[in-house]
Amino acid sequence: MKILIAEDDLISSKILQRNLLNWGYYVVPARSGAEAWQALQDGELRMTLLDWMMPGMDGIEVCRKIRRRKKYKYTYIILLSAKDRKQDIITGLSSGADDYMTKPVNLLELRARLQTGRRIIDLEDKLLFVQNQLKDLASRDSLTRIWNRSESAKFLREELERGHREGVPTGVILLDVDHFKRINDFYGHDIGDQALLQVVSRLKKNVRKSDKIGRYGGDEIIIVLPRCSSSEIFKIAERVRLSVAKKGIKTELDMVPLTISVGCAASDVTGILSTERFIKVADEALLKAKSQGRNRIVVANGLSTRKQEHKNA
Amino acid sequence: MPDPVHSESSQPIDFSTVLERIGGDVSFLQELLDLYSQEFAEKKHLLEEALARGDSTQIQEVGHSLKGASANLSLAPLQRLSLAIEMAGRENDLEKARQAIGALGTEFIRLKTFLEVHPLEELG
C-alpha cells in the first residue's frame, strides 16, 4: 500500500518513513503542501499522513483540496499536528481529515489507526467492484454477454455525434438468424440459444476491434461501426455473413444450417443524424434482405434501400 | 516551580523512549542526531537573525519547528526551551525570546557533552 508523508520537518519525516517501511508500506515523501499535492495526482496514492503546519500550502488546505476533487478514489487522511486543543482537532477534522493525531506521534497508535484507514479503503474497493459488476450486468445481455439494446443505442448515438463532429462516416448493421423461430420450435430453446451464441462468437471474430456488438432484441443483433463508410460496411457484412453460413451447428439429431440476413446503413450515404431513424433505415434494409430470400446483405441508400444482392455462399 | 528557561535538571535525552520510537535501531538514531545537529545550527542562526531584526513571527515559526524535531528525538529540555521560544515569539516578547534562545544554546552544548560521555555504541 502506497502512503504519502507530507512533513516539512526532516527528522519527523525520517522517523515516520522508517517505521512505515518496516510495516510494509511504500512511502512517498513530500516536504511541503505543494509537493504533497503534486504527489497526490497519482490516483493509487490513497493514504496520507499530512502535517498541519507546512510552509506555503498547509495540511488543512491540502485536505480541503483532496476532498473537493472528483473522479479520484477515496484518499484516507490522517492529519498530524502539535496543536492539541479541542478547537484545533475540530478544525482539522472539519477540513476533511479522517483522523487526527498529535505530535510526536505514538507509533503503535499510528499503526493501529492506519489499519482503520486500510479497512475503509478495502470497503471502498469492494463497493466499487460490486458497482462495476452491477453496471456490467445492467448493460449486457445475460445470455450472450454482448451489449444490450439500450447500451448499443447509446454507442450508436455517441458514434454518430462523433462522426459528425469529425467528418467521418458511421455504420450500423442489423442482422438476424434466418428461421430462428423454426430452430427454436423444432430443436428447442437450448439449441436456439446455442445458435445465437455461435453467431455471436463468429461475429466477434469478423468485425473490427473498434466495432461494438449488441443484442437488439430476440435474435436481432446490432453492430455499431465507427469510421465506416458504405463501401467498407459491405465488406465487413459480407465477411460476417460468410463466417456464419460456412458451418451449421451440431445437434444430437443432425447439423442445423445457420445463416443470417443483414441490413446495413452508413451515414455517408444516408446522411442521417438521428439514432432512431438510422436504426430504422438499417432495419428496413434487413427486412428487404429477408423478403429477398434471406442469407444476404442489403445496404440502405439515401432515400429508400438500395438493392445489393449477394447470392448464397 | 522551577523556571524552565534557567534550570535543566533532567537528562538531555531519553534514550529508551526514542529507541522505542525507531525500533531500537541505534545507528539510525545516530543518523537522526547528526541531522538534528545540522538543523540545530541552521535554526539557531535563524533565531539570532530574527532576534536582531525583532521578527517575532520568524521566532515563533522556528521555535515551533525546533520543538517538533526535539520532541521526536525525546530531547525534553530542548523541546521545552523551543516551546518557550515559540511562545515568546507569539507574545512578541523579545526579551523572553532572547533569554530562551541563550538557554537553548547552553542546553544543546549539554546534550553534545552528554552524548560524548554516553556514546551510542554502548547502547546496542
The Cα B57–Cα B116 span in angstroms is 35
Is A219 catalytic? The answer is: yes
- Say which CATH class A2-138 falls into: alpha beta
Cell of B87: 511562545
pLDDT band of A252, cuts 50, 70, 90: confident
pLDDT digit string, tens, across residues A172-231: 999 999 999 999 998 999 999 999 999 999 999 999 999 999 999 888 999 999 999 988
User: How far away is chain B from the Cα of A108, in angstroms, using its nearest Cα?
Assistant: 9
Predicted confidence (pLDDT) at residue A311 exceeds the cutoff of 50:
no
What is the nearest CA distance from B41 to chain A, expressed in angstroms?
14
All domains of chain B, ordered by start, with CATH?
15-116 (1.20.120.160)
- The ipTM, to two decimals, is 0.79
The pLDDT of residue B8 is above 60? no
* A149-306 shares the fold of A2-138: no
Residue A303: which pLDDT band, with cuts at 50, 70 and 90? low
Check CB contact under 8 Å for A104 and B36: no
- What is the pLDDT averaged over residues B52-66? 93
Starting at the edge strand that comes first in sequence, how are the strands of the sheet with A2-6 ordered? A26-30, A2-6, A47-51, A76-81, A99-102
Domain definitions of chain A by residue range: 2-138, 149-306
Per-residue pLDDT tens over the stretch B9-56: 689 999 999 998 888 889 999 999 999 999 999 999 999 999 999 999
**Average pLDDT for A133-162:** 94
Q: Do B22 and A82 touch (CB under 8 A)?
A: no
- Report CA-CA distances (Å) from A31 to A227, A238, B43, B56, B82: 49, 63, 17, 24, 21
Indicate whether A293 pLDDT > 70: yes
- Looking at residues B70-86, what average pLDDT do you find? 95
Out of A11, A22, A82, the one facing B73 most closely (by C-beta) is A11
**In this predicted model, which residue has the larger pLDDT, A204 or A82?**
A204
Is CATH 3.30.70.270 the classification given to domain A149-306? yes
Q: What is the mean pLDDT of residues A141-163?
A: 94
Phi–psi pair at B88, nearest 5 degrees: -60, -40
Task: Report pLDDT digits (tens) over A273-285.
Answer: 789 999 999 999 9
Cβ–Cβ pairs < 8 A, chains A and B: 48
Q: Which of A219, A254, A268, A283 is catalytic?
A: A219
Three-state SS string across A135-196, please? HHHHHECCCCCCECHHHHHHHHHHHHHHHHHHCCCCEEEEEEECCHHHHHHHHCHHHHHHHH
Residue B6: per-residue pLDDT = 47
Is residue A17 within 8 A of residue A28, CB to CB? The reply is no
Distance (Å) from the C-alpha of residue A122 to the closest C-alpha of chain B? 28
- Mutation target among B18, B19, B20, B21 for the A interface, most CBs of A within 10 A: B21
